[in-house]
Amino acid sequence: MSAERLKGNVIRYDSRTLIVSELHSRKHYLCDMPGRFKKLGIRPIVGDVVEFVPTGDGTGKVENILNRRNELKRPRIANVDQIVLVTCLEEPAVSFYILDRFLILAEYSTLPTIIAVNKVDLLSSRKALLELYHTYGEYYSIIEVSAKTGYNMDLLREVFRGKISTMAGMSGVGKSSLLNALKPGLKLRTSDISKRLDRGKHTTTRVELLEFDFGGYVADTPGFASLELPEILPEELKDYFRELKVHGGYCAFSDCAHIDEPGCYIKELVETGDIPSTRYESYRKMYKELQEKNKGKKRWK
């Protein structure tokens, strides 16, 4: 009688060997990939749900890779539920323009995005926070946290619970500090089995899913590999700014780019302060960048 197939999440992949976390028990298995997958050009990525057969002593053999709900290219990960975008208003003070570039990449991925404002314990006043809420609060969920004091870490825990998440944000904003506050020693859980994987020295990916005791995973990755804008045309950029997408239909022209056109409702909202000028300036700056990037290119339908 053949062994029963189990299902699990791929939390790490190196060459032909995977660490799989079984869906119900959360027990980790070191699984091999049969050669037929390579012959067919099929390879798993972190986040995949696979069917495998246990072969004893915490090992197994992958039999099938289930269809992916979604897939991110950078970092390469499948079946992601959300992006947690970490930013700071002090030490370092992340500009709204940098935050906007991250948000464009998040919008391009079509994943829900939560903005986590870390190090709020360093703020001498709420002025910067109020500006941030005015700029983004209507369109994004914002949570104030402090890895140092533990402020709102219970709320952040609920954000991660039961989901596969990836984190993004500039260096220094405290992504690692937040993870350590949520679960001290998070990476140590797979250290023993990871040593067995490292024997081969043929690593093909640096992405790894770290598992929370309270349920859920987070990608152990610096987030988006770069802040380079996605491969879109300038006229498509407005679809990745939520407020422009919502209000753009009221412009005099249906193809209004919200730059120099007459009868632009977006520019009216900027003048009245309903759309913050910092947000609009980010849009104009990125629009011009995409114009330069796409100069000479033709759009084929």
- The DSSP-derived string for 17-65 is EEEEEETTT--EEEEEPPHHHHHTT----TT-EEEEEEEETTEEEEEEE
The one-character DSSP state at 268 is H
pLDDT for the residue numbered 202: 41
Report angle CA 39, 43, 47 to the nearest 5 degrees. 165
pLDDT in tens, 187-207: 534 445 556 655 544 434 468
Give yes or no for residue 236 having a pLDDT over 80.
yes
Give yes or no for residue 299 having a pLDDT over 70.
no
pLDDT in tens, 28-81: 999 998 888 888 888 899 999 999 999 988 999 999 999 999 998 877 899 999
How far apart (Å, rounded) are the C-alpha atoms in residues 117 and 124?
15
Give yes or no for residue 273 having a pLDDT over 80.
yes
Q: Give which of 130, 95, 116, 103 is closest to 174, Cα–Cα.
A: 116
pLDDT for the residue numbered 128: 95
pLDDT in tens, 3-19: 789 999 999 988 778 99
Q: In angstroms, what CA-CA distances link 73 with 78, 88, 112, 273?
A: 9, 26, 16, 36
pLDDT for the residue numbered 75: 77
Higher-pLDDT residue of 192, 228: 228
pLDDT for the residue numbered 225: 57
pLDDT for the residue numbered 187: 54
Cis omega (within 30 of 0) for bond into 92: yes
Give yes or no for residue 298 having a pLDDT over 70.
no
Sorted by where each starts, the structural domains of the chain and their CATH numbers stand as 6-67 (2.40.50.140), 72-188+205-219 (3.40.50.300), 234-293 (1.10.40.50)
Mean pLDDT of the chain: 88
How far apart (Å, rounded) are the C-alpha atoms in residues 117 and 151?
11
What string of H, E and C letters represents the secondary structure of 162-210? Answer: CCEEEEECCCCCCHHHHHHHHCCCHHHHHHHHHHHHHCCCCCCCCCCEE
The three-state secondary structure class of 6 is strand
pLDDT in tens, 15-42: 778 999 999 999 999 999 888 888 888 8
Give yes or no for residue 1 having a pLDDT over 80.
no
pLDDT in tens, 137-154: 999 999 999 999 999 999
> What phi and psi, each to the nearest 5 degrees, are found at residue 122?
-85, -10
How far apart (Å, rounded) are the C-alpha atoms in residues 174 and 176?
5
Q: What percent of the chain has pLDDT over 90?
A: 71
Higher-pLDDT residue of 130, 300: 130
User: Hey, what are 150's tokens?
Assistant: 């533990």
The three-state secondary structure class of 85 is strand
pLDDT for the residue numbered 301: 42
